Amino acid sequence: MNAPHRRGACPGLSAPMPTGDGLLVRLMPTAPVSLDRFIALCEAAREHGNGTLEVTARGSLQVRGLTPQSAPAFAAAVAALDIAASDGVQVIADPLPDDAGALAASVRDAIAGADLALAAKVSVVIDSGGGLHLDALTADVRLRTTGARLHVSLGGDAASAMPLGTILPERAGEVVVQLLRVVPRQGPTARAVDVLRDHGIAPFRAAVTAAVSPAAKLPQRPPAEPIGRHPLRDGSVALGLALAFGHARAEVLCELARIAASHGARSVRPAPGRALLLLGLAETDALALTSAAEPLGFVVRADDPRRAIVACPGKPACASGFIAARALAAEIASRVPARSGTIHISGCAKGCAHPAPAALTVVGTERGCGIVRNGSARATPSRHVDSADLFAEVVRVAAPDREAVHG
């Protein structure tokens, strides 16, 4: 195992990242994981880490609480399970098995075979145009199926990325590699947005002129919704549910997997939006599994207020935390409506769980709970309150119409 990664890098199995509750590793499965292997993965997380697993906003699995001694053992346990996963440049594809898996695999192979020196967080999104699209995810290169061709855009999410044109699907790997070669010319930590900011799209266009046909920006789509039932082409159903605040204990995930297997599910896959997809269910079994998952604490309704709240482990799990972020998040979720916008509860100013701005951020400090509106945990709070006064403050800021407040 290599030395631990610096903060801000991508903590793969081979290079875990130090956090306040030990070492963290991230695993992005590139195909559905059988339920027995998923259970074994969760058991390994409990044996070698602190037993907490997370699904990130981009659909990766994270295991927390590893040590320099246990991290290699965990990596070996995962390797023995032979779970198909990516540990290099992130190539994120539609999570449903009917969609972009084969195309994503060809792009990963092309990147792996190229000599690319890229910043850690450089990523590629491959969107088949299906129901669980990836418009909300940012990426350096975006590919989206439009009829018989792929639409290519650069730097950002679907709304902000700059369109380049369309290509034939068989040229996807070649084109992505050539576009990625442009990025590090801007510097070792550069991203596509840096090139676009300083030089516009011209360097990218020059790299792939022969392969690209002109095309306009694609129209915006309604947000993707992973929670609920998704029909698959083989007649079965994928059931989407989410982890409350993006995390769950290993034993609870094992229980979910065993119940899913008893209802006929074949496999599981993490998905963007801190969700899990349970695959291969009959419609009636999907309904029964939904009912069984809710008492375990999983989010099974799209309008669940917990979906709008992002929280890190916080105190006491994380040595850096000043407040019990997830305990506070659970209490806040019972007091504000789902329409309040994103609320970020951060144990400290590092803001690990949600680096981007949120409608409301509560950040732990030595002075108590800092309140930040429309900013990140690193911003200067406009005021500080005690934990005892926090809920009234959150309700006042996030839900000014008190008749709409739950509870």
Question: Can you tell me the distance from the alpha carbon of 328 to that of 245, in angstroms, rounded to the nearest whole number?
Answer: 11
Buried b (16+ CB within 10 A) or exposed e, 214-231: ebeebeeeeebebbeebe
**What pLDDT, in 10s, does the model give residues 364-404?**
999 999 999 999 999 999 999 987 788 887 777 665 544 43
Q: Is the peptide bond between 316 and the residue preceding it cis, with omega within 30 degrees of 0?
A: yes
Q: Is 388 left (phi over 0), alpha (psi -120 to 50) or beta?
A: alpha
List, in order of start, the domains of the chain with CATH numbers. 17-85+226-302 (3.90.480.10), 96-211 (3.30.413.10), 306-404 (3.30.413.10)
Question: Cβ-count burial of 195 within 10 angstroms (0-12 exposed, 13-18 middle, 19+ buried)?
Answer: buried
What the block records as the tokens of 295 is: 């008492």
Contact at 8 Å (CB) between 353 and 378?
A: no
**What pLDDT, in 10s, does the model give residues 173-186?**
999 999 999 999 99
**What pLDDT, in 10s, does the model give residues 247-293?**
999 999 999 999 999 999 999 999 999 999 999 999 999 999 999 99
What the block records as the tokens of 256 is: 């979910």
**Cβ atoms within 10 A of the Cβ of 334, count?**
12
* pTM for the whole structure: 0.90
Question: Can you tell me the distance from the alpha carbon of 270 to that of 62, in angstroms, rounded to the nearest whole number?
Answer: 11
Run of H or E including 267: strand 267-271
